[in-house]
Structure 1
């Protein structure tokens, strides 16, 4: 291996060596502890230390790095106390996830590190968001994000590169090409000769770097990072290296030809560099042993601290309270100046006034800039807020959700418009696995609102008409809001944007231009978890939300002799169970009316809750009224039969007569 020692002083050379030595020695110790059952799992980066160390040393300490599970060198170079890493790997409280996640699945704002999730790909889109925040704040900073060659087969990789290229984001996409994705060789991952070739397709600069040569890694990344700080742009870096151990220790390496392992053993980054340093007279045996002794003592000292820490104790209240970041709701008094506006105008007004209130709020979505979005919610916003804050996005739902997460990590708010709620399926993974879980895992909130134009009744067919709230009410860590009236839509959207937690905000597009109401012109908020009792009566309780509320009103207007408690839930997570229970106990008969299909919908859980808490007060079975358990059809006759509006009246009368 050739090392170019020009223009690098001896102190830096020795620091590069020591920084590689430390993660190697920690790993060797971890492998012993793994065999002793003192560590549950280990993903080895032995043989790849030069990449983690070289990149991290080329970065500024205040710049974010998003590593993977073979990048121990990132954590050690950033100076994280070893006892905290050891505690993390043992599930102890002084780790970074309070025992809730393992390995390197954590982040730390203190050290500007954002850890991975097992789905790999979302890391790259999150890096886009952090880089976008740096660019918007005019910071001359670069973001480095890691992936293996296997991860480049995921759609998130391609979406993230596309977004970074279109928006000229200062991201270094660092791909560790180590030969195998678990046991799958590169020949079965991609057909191009080098991963770096893919940069051409994105109009992106790319480089191939010897990932086992610490000087080449450090000097090239240092030069590139300096250039990107001055001229923001994404760069694709492919590091040629090899994984000397199994994907994780239980996997082994039987699938790797022996001669290939022997070849790469000769290219060991630490051995090759130490020998070169000795040849240059910079390192000798005595100094080498001294370095190793210092690291060994540090490992043993910090292991002792971690081992002596007691096992973590579970506390149900503590666990539940950590799912969301604490939010101190601020009640904004409603002004008397009102105007009769449509549902769509209420949404637009909330967004506009929130953009005025929060100068670090970013709107992202397909066609939302000059065009104003397909429903014209953001029409005219460009004039007042500009293209930087009202951002057209490529059709990359997954990467845009991830970008929103990155903005939150960097201290900014965002609202993402799904053109139709149906399309969230293309960004489902980062919603339920990144936004929803980050605060519980390592205390990082996701200050993101995802707007979800949804619902049927407009003849739009299976891919533009779903009301898919139940996908998200099932996921701890997400708040779900579903207003039925313009007044609520505006106040609840303002609250959603103020809330530092991820909010799925459902807007029934069938209500956009069909429902109007007197709404305060000025800014105001409405608290989550407070249902609205629209009508009061004693015969039966009807619980609903969204368009189904209006359908219920139409039927009840035709049945004037029925005394009904009509509850509009407004928010589904958190859910106002107390209002529901109080009404159920009063009337003794309950119908839950939803637009979503029947099985597995929100109505099922509400029904179960009523049965658990109000059973002795009931005079009839709790009934659910919902759409058919089919995809939503296109033609009007089929859609009318699919939707539950007509069935509600019959079931209502049946329950009353029970």
Structure 2
């Protein structure tokens, strides 16, 4: 594995990194001005203090091979991965030409789906499940690439993050979970999130999982950690957690006032730990670049940001009438029984469960890119509690028909993710053996429902969710409830 350090890294690469870091920081500092001028950027989460790890994520991301799920603080990550300053501003001020959502999504949520820099929601950490689903598809289709998913350390307290790590470890999926640890979840200190000082250590007992700790403030340590993580995930088809120690120089966001919970000593410390200034000092100390070189780069970044700003401000705003576009995909139009009716005398009478089973088998034969998983879906000769999948694993194999962990969020979230890999993929999921048990997956169900609108029609999960509900067996609570109204 190539190791990066200040003495041996190519000078042109050092210039590129310094340019990206300088341009990113300039935009990070400019973002609040758009709100002051009533131009947009109503939500801004400054990344300053995360510079090393975010530069590294973007540099390691390989367009055409990898998928990247950045979170709302990942401005430099997106810039380093190849997005332009103009594209980032288009998101910030909600322009119609924003490549991620056409101005629909919340500001500071950067995406470029055509490059597989994915559009994610504001519910931080939920995208870990989508990342695992994409990685499952990579393994099945023998695709050379990894999935990188990123968020803060506090999001790792979420149950669905545990489900994602557990599932990726179980299935041996090439996912890199990057946790940017700045010590706070908004104003909640890390000590109130977890007993472990480094949250990744909570996962140290997981089989097939590699954990790498790095200094997220340091460019070279971060580059080495991310390079090692990608090479390991590719070679071993195993997940990796990269735990990056950072600082948060500013507030959590523009709606947060960190002086209410941080004292002067802490605020002075985080400013002294500024990764950009540290990198600048190193370049001078080791005589890799001169003061004139650095000022030239800084001037170029300043001019490029001004040009990007001018172009973004003249971009068109979304048409208010378009708000009703991409609310729901076009409905399926049947070729037979187009009027929605048929005569009972047509065809052979069958039990409902038999009809479902035969329909699934017919579709699996028709489309080899169809999959089904869920709770108690297939184990030897058992085809689930209702025999819906009877005989399917034997005919179509364990890679297409399999039982998932009893983790409803994981079942639904990975379906969302797997269908992102290729639009030809179709997924059927048994969300729970009985509909009553589906409640833990509701947040991922909701995620699925607004993907189409939020991405401006660029993505909709190709997922059919099957739940058994009703009073047939007279099971009372948790075996006979009807959820249709709530869903």
Task: Flag whether TM exceeds 0.5 (same fold).
Answer: yes
Distance 1:359 1:307 in 2: 47
What residue is the counterpart of 1:271 in the other structure?
277
| SS of equivalent to 1:324 | coil
Please name the residue that 2:468 is paired with.
Answer: 453
Aligned to 1:81: 84
Residues 24 and 148 from structure 1, CA distance in 2 versus in 1: closer, same or farther, beyond 3 angstroms?
same
Q: TM-score when scaled to structure 1?
A: 0.68
Structure 2 residue aligned with 1:343: 352
- Write the mapping of 1:279-318 to structure 2, written as runs, cut at 5 A: 279-315=285-321, 318=322
TM-score (norm 2): 0.91
Query: Does structure 1 retain, via aligned residues, the 8 Å contact 2:46–2:73?
Result: yes
Q: Does 1:415 align with 2:431?
A: no
Whether the 8 Å contact between 2:435 and 2:483 is mirrored in structure 1 is yes
Q: What is aligned with 2:74?
A: 71
Give 3-state SS (helix, strand or coil) of 2:32's partner. helix
Q: Distance in 1 between matches of 2:369 and 2:110?
A: 26
Pair 1:104 & 2:111 matched: no
- Secondary structure at the aligned position of 2:258 is classed as coil
Paired with 1:99 and 1:326, the residues of 2 have a C-alpha distance of 22
Q: What residue number does 1:484 align with? A: none
Answer whether contact 2:213 2:225 (CA < 8 A) is retained: no
Q: Give the CA deviation at 1:140.
A: 2.1
Asked if the contact 1:124–1:160 (Cα under 8 Å) also holds between the matched residues in 2, the reply is yes
Normalized per residue, the structure richer in strand is 1
Give the deviation of 1:279 after TM superposition. Answer: 1.6
Distance 1:359 1:273 in 2: 51
Over the aligned positions, Cα root-mean-square deviation in angstroms equals: 2.0
Q: Residue 58 of structure 2 is aligned with which of 56, 59, 69?
A: 56
Per-residue Cα deviation, 1:281-325 (whole angstroms, up to 9, x for no partner): 21122111211222222211121122223443311xx43341123
How many angstroms does 1:148 deviate by?
0.8
Aligned match of 1:251 = 256
Say which structure, 1 or 2, has more relative contact order (CA 8 Å, 6+ apart): 2
The question of whether the paired residues in 2 share the 8 Å contact of 1:59 and 1:222 is answered with: no
Matched, 1:358 2:367: yes
Which residue of 411, 414, 419 corresponds with 1:403?
Answer: 414
Corresponding position of 1:224: 229
- Distance of 2:29 and 2:126 partners within structure 1: 30
Q: Are the aligned partners of 1:368 and 1:390 in contact in 2 as well (CA < 8 Å)?
A: yes
Contact 1:133 1:410 in 2 (8 A): yes
Residue 372 of structure 1 pairs with residue 383 of structure 2: yes
Contact 2:210 2:241 in 1 (8 A): yes
Q: Is the 8 A contact 1:80 1:111 kept in 2?
A: no
Structure 2 partner of 1:152: 156
> CA shift at 1:330, angstroms?
5.6
Q: Secondary structure at the match of 2:350?
A: strand
- Please give the per-residue CA displacement for 1:20-61, whole angstroms capped at 9, x wherever unaligned: 222111111213333333332211101112111101211211
Q: Deviations over 1:460-493 (max 9, x none)?
A: 1211111111122xxxxxxxxxxxxxxxxxxxxx
Aligned mates of 1:107, 1:359 — CA distance in 2: 30
The structural deviation recorded for 1:333 is: 8.7
2:413–2:444 Cα contact (<8 Å) kept: yes
Query: Which residue does 1:504 correspond to in 2?
Result: none
User: Secondary structure at 1:388's aligned position in 2?
Assistant: coil
Whether the aligned pair in 1 keeps the contact of 2:44 and 2:108 (CA below 8 Å) is no
Q: Which residue of 1 aligns with 2:130?
A: 126
Q: Deviation string for 1:171-195 (max 9, x for gaps)?
A: 0111111111010000000012321
Unaligned runs of 5+ in 1: 473-658
Greater Cα shift, 304-313 or 434-443: 304-313
Displacement of 1:115 after TM fit? 3.1
Asked which structure has the greater CA Rg, the reply is 1
1:195 to 191, 196, 199: 199
Give CA-to-partner distance per residue, 1:114-148, whole Å, 9 cap, x none: 13312112110000011111111101211110121
Q: How far apart, in 2, do the equivalents of 1:326 and 1:49 lie?
A: 43
Q: Which runs of 5+ in 2 are unaligned?
A: 339-344
